[in-house]
Amino acid sequence: MAHEYIRVQNAGPLSGELTLEGAKNAVLVTMASLVLTRGKSRLTRVPASHDVYQMKTLLEELGAEVLFDEQKHELIVDTTFLNGWSVSPDLMKRMRASILVMGPLLARFGKAKIALPGGCLIGTRPVDLHLKAFARMGATITTSGDFLQADVEKIRPCRFVMDYPSVGATENILMAAAGISGVTEIVNAALEPEVLDLITVLRNMGAHIDFAFPATIVVQGSLDLKPVEHEIMCDRLEAGTLLIAVAATGGTLSLPDAPVDSLELVLEKLSEMGLSIEVGPQGRGVKLTSHRPMNPVSFKTMPYPGFPTDLQAPMTALLSLASGKGVIHETVFENRLLHVPELQKMGAQISLSGDRATITGVERLYGASVIATDIRAAAALVIAGLAAEGETRITGIHHLLRGYEGLDQKLRTLGACIEIVRD
């Protein structure tokens, strides 16, 4: 197999303007939700990331016809003849988000067979909340070998109180509830912007969805959900990654379509670091201008609107260059600090204690050979490489390609020296 890695060198401060892709975490679940419909749907602003191709294959294996025009970022999905209800271990291993078809399959066929999830190396990542809710809706859950199976004679709505506001579980239950008759309540639900984007899609299909206090989503489903046309929301996590990358190099970046309201706390932390943040008219678009020295900041990752766990690794790289000590507490996922030993190889001064990282900024990072273990760890290493002296080589780049469309190319348009090498 070809040896693949990213080579990054410091090319000084990056500057320019970029447009954002559609959100990976919104597009995958929107694609899964189409299983609930019969007919042709059209999604726009679809990123050409590897996970989107995996979800396309999954829908095709279930019997959908899928056309992806990468140039137009348009995806046409015809689910008229969808007749499959099983997801192979191979697909599940490559894309954990495959679990998101379970709810729609249960609503449509009363059964779903899904291989046990694989994916990023961040903790054990159980799916117990998804399964508990399906059991509450009347499904019998069995496991055999590598497979999870759910069967239900007549699926029924329920009230489900979640132990934790899991994004995937909220989405899975929402989709199952949207495709059946009756009222389902999801209490202690995740209300991430991507969940709200899914709610817009399900409402356009014909489901009635409301919110109640506290953090409750109330779904009045329908047995006749219609195909939809939907523009995927801009990727707030790509926006955050790019802002942090440019800040690490001391440059300037404009993102005219950045969804500022969903990045509020991230922008707040960047301002606290002394970077200047200008928000565009009507709260859309942002311009970052770097200043030195950068103040250290501390934060805890939390469900939305708390600090997003997906931007924790990129911020760790940035804090490595601040002047002083910051503490990051990762509370969402266990084992999501695997980028730390790699950043240490580049000269970062970070001490770990359980799920906390204390980062003491250094004058300079140094290029090294490092390994990416998940999407956001890969992004963090790219960011460190852009600011480091010498050359950085990052392996495990399939993680980066899973989640970002053309990140290397975008950074090059800002002046970065970065390339994907295959030898």
Q: Least distance from C-beta 375 to ligand UD1, angstroms? A: 8
Q: Could you say whether residue 168 binds ligand UD1 (CB under 6 A)?
A: yes
**Which part of the chain contacts ligand UD1 (CB under 6 A), choosing from 77-85, 102-110, 166-174, 277-285?**
166-174
- Segment 295 to 314, residues that bind ligand UD1, using CB under 6 A: 309-310
Query: Do residues 173 and 33 make contact, with C-beta atoms less than 8 angstroms apart?
Result: no
- Cα(316)–Cα(122) distance, integer angstroms: 16
Which residues are within 8 A (CB) of 290 and not within 5 positions of it... i.e. 6 or more apart?
Answer: 13, 246, 247, 249, 250, 251, 252, 275
- Shortest distance, CB of residue 43 to ligand UD1, whole angstroms? 16
Name the residue nearer to ligand UD1 (CB basis): 25 or 33: 25
Contacts of ligand UD1 in 177-206 (CB under 6 A): 190
The Cα–Cα gap between 27 and 38 comes to: 19
Least distance to ligand UD1 from the beta carbon of 95, Å? 9
Task: Pick between residue 39 and residue 123 the one whose CB is nearest to ligand UD1.
Answer: 123
Residue 35 or 322 having the CB closest to ligand UD1: 35
* x-marked contacts with ligand UD1 along 82-101 as a string, rule CB under 6 A: ---------------x----
Catalytic choice (120, 158, 234, 417) = 120
Residue 352, strand partner residues: 357
174 counts as binding ligand UD1 under rule CB under 6 A: no
AA letter at 346: M
Q: Is 120 considered catalytic here?
A: yes
If one asks whether residue 167 binds ligand UD1 (CB under 6 A), the answer comes out as: yes
Helix (H) or strand (E) holding 178: helix 167-178
Considering only the stretches 167-175, 256-264, 319-327, 354-362, report the one whose residues sit in contact with ligand UD1 under the rule CB under 6 A: 167-175
Helix (H) or strand (E) holding 54: helix 50-61
Among 92, 286, 332, 337, binds ligand UD1 (CB under 6 A): 332
Quick one: 10 or 312, whose CB is closer to ligand UD1? 312
Pick 5 or 307: Cβ nearer ligand UD1 = 307
Q: Which of 12, 67, 140, 164 binds ligand UD1 (CB under 6 A)?
A: 164
10, 25, 37, 241: residue in contact with ligand UD1 (rule CB under 6 A): 25
Q: What distance in Å separates the CA atoms of residue 215 and residue 35, rounded to the nearest whole number?
A: 26
Nearer to ligand UD1, 348 or 379 (CB): 379
- Number of amino acids touching ligand UD1 (CB under 6 A): 20
List binders of ligand UD1 among 102-161 (CB under 6 A).
Answer: 123, 125-130
Among positions 32, 169, 219, 337, the unique one binding ligand UD1 when judged by CB under 6 A: 169
Closest CA to 53 of 80, 27, 85: 27
* CA 317 remoteness from chain centre: 19
Residue 356 found at the interface with ligand UD1 (CB under 6 A):
no
Closer to ligand UD1 at the Cβ: 164 or 211?
164
3-state secondary structure string, 87-142?
Answer: ECHHHHHHCHHHHHHHHHHHHHHCEEEEECCCCCCCCCCCCHHHHHHHHHCCCEEE
Pairing of strands 284-289, 276-279: antiparallel
What burial class does residue 295 get, using C-beta atoms within 10 Å of its C-beta: 0-12 exposed, 13-18 middle, 19+ buried? middle
Closest among 121, 53, 11 to 396, alpha carbons compared: 121
What beta strand segments (E) does 125-192 contain?
140-144, 147-151, 159-161, 183-187
Q: Is 30 in the site for ligand UD1 (CB under 6 A)?
A: no
Nearer to ligand UD1, 169 or 177 (CB): 169
Q: Which of 333, 383, 405, 416 binds ligand UD1 (CB under 6 A)?
A: 333
| CA torsion, ordered 254, 257, 262, 268, to nearest 10 deg | 20
Tokens of 60: 């095709």
Residue 364 CB, nearest approach to ligand UD1 (Å): 30
- The structure tokens 């002083």 sit at 324
Strand partners, 57: none
Residues that bind ligand UD1 (CB under 6 A): 25, 28, 97, 123, 125-130, 164, 166-169, 190, 309-310, 332-333
Catalytic residues: 120
